[in-house]
A = this chain, B = another copy of it.
Amino acid sequence: MSQSFDIAVVGATGTVGETIVQILEERNFPTADLHLLASSESAGHSVPFRGKNVRVREVDAFDFSKVQLVFFAAGPAVTLSFAAKASAAGCIVIDLSGALPSAQAPQVVPEANSQVLEGLKKPLQVSSPSPSATALAVVLAPLRGLLDMQYVNVTACLAVSAQGREAVSELARQTTALLNLHPLETHFFDRQMAFNLLAQVGKPDAQGHVPLEKRLVTELREVLGMPALKISATCIQAPVFFGDSFSVSVQLAGPVDLDAVNAALEAGDGIELVEDGDYPTAVGDAVGQDVVYVGRVRHGVDDTSQLNLWLTSDNVRKGAALNAVQLAELLIKDQL
């Protein structure tokens, strides 16, 4: 006998929420009733699931005792308002907002630290890390045993879709205006995003770091199980609709054997290694895929103790929705 689960997706009208629904269907997740929830503004929309349109309802009025599994794919405030209710009602909670402390809901990427789920106590709460930390964890995890990593340096070039539909529309609108020599209007972004790069994604703290950068560092350390790893992160906003790209430079204690690195990446789960001389791109390779692409595996220009990598990942799918569904699959295993 196979068991099915009643599931709620909070934030179902966002790009990540919609993709979770799509992946539940694609992967044949044992779903009985699917409840799609959102804020009052988005309630009333509908999202397709298994050939039917499922109506999105207000999260405020929802009775969480109707479901056994909840994905939180809205902002941190929504998670903070409703996760406790969902847990109290006995639900498994999978949060994608970064709102829950990791002592309560550990950050997990199945390819890197699925063992954490085994020790998890009820109420089951787990966090799916930010798309950047997820992509980096998938690729660095199989290198942990091989390399003595001293310092990880990341410049993350992020797609606008991570900021939601309004950001996507504004990039398209600004680009069209510029190509037609119309005046540029800025609404969502505070300056020209089209044909430009923005050096800050979010509001910096007094030290100049934005929350995304701090999340990347904290979550990556936790997921890799390397709390003392030095990580430097700069998150920039690229004029790209979907797909994140990462320029990664790892400083090692000694010379690194690139053949061994390539072999470990080849063997790693959730990774597609692109052959030497070529490289993956966000749009051309990563978007719509279930793997993180890796290319440009090389030493420093004259430093064999440095490993350089270029990664691309679908920020919405691999970086968020798919990771969350993979977590759900692992968490329900014991209950089937």
Give chain B residues whose Cβ lies under 8 Å from the Cβ of A209.
298, 301
Give chain B residues whose Cβ lies under 8 Å from the Cβ of A239.
195, 238-240
Q: Distance in Å from the Cβ of A222 to the closest Cβ of chain B? A: 14
Chain A positions 229-288 with a Cβ under 8 Å from a chain B Cβ: 230-234, 236, 238-241, 243, 245, 247, 249, 251, 276-277, 279-284
Chain A positions 175-225 with a Cβ under 8 Å from a chain B Cβ: 175-176, 179, 191-192, 195-200, 204, 207-209, 213-214, 217
A64 at the interface (CB under 8 A from B): no
Contact call B297/A198, Cβ cutoff below 8 A: no
CA distance A301 to B299 in the complex (A): 25
Cross-chain pairs A/B with CB under 8 angstroms, 18 sampled:
A153-B232, A153-B249, A155-B247, A157-B157, A176-B179, A195-B239, A195-B283, A199-B280, A204-B277, A204-B298, A207-B298, A208-B296, A209-B301, A217-B301, A232-B249, A234-B296, A234-B308, A238-B238
Contact call B296/A196, Cβ cutoff below 8 A: no
A295 at the interface (CB under 8 A from B): yes
Range, interface on chain A: 35 or more
Complex: chain B residue closest to A235, CB-CB: B247
Number of copies of this kind of chain in the complex = 2
Complex: chain B residue closest to A280, CB-CB: B199
CA distance A297 to B232 in the complex (A): 13
Complex: chain B residue closest to A303, CB-CB: B230
4 closest pairs, A vs B, by CB? A208-B298, A155-B155, A199-B279, A155-B247
A71 at the interface (CB under 8 A from B): no
Chain A positions 93-145 with a Cβ under 8 Å from a chain B Cβ: none
CA distance A229 to B151 in the complex (A): 17
A195 and B245 in contact, given A175-B175, A208-B296, A301-B214 (Cβ under 8 angstroms):
no
Contact call A300/B197, Cβ cutoff below 8 A: no
Contact call B281/A192, Cβ cutoff below 8 A: yes
List 4 extra interface pairs beyond A175-B175, A196-B240, CB under 8 A: A199-B310, A204-B277, A208-B297, A247-B247
Contact call B234/A199, Cβ cutoff below 8 A: no
Q: Distance in Å from the Cβ of A250 to the closest Cβ of chain B? A: 10
Q: Distance in Å from the Cβ of A311 to the closest Cβ of chain B? A: 9
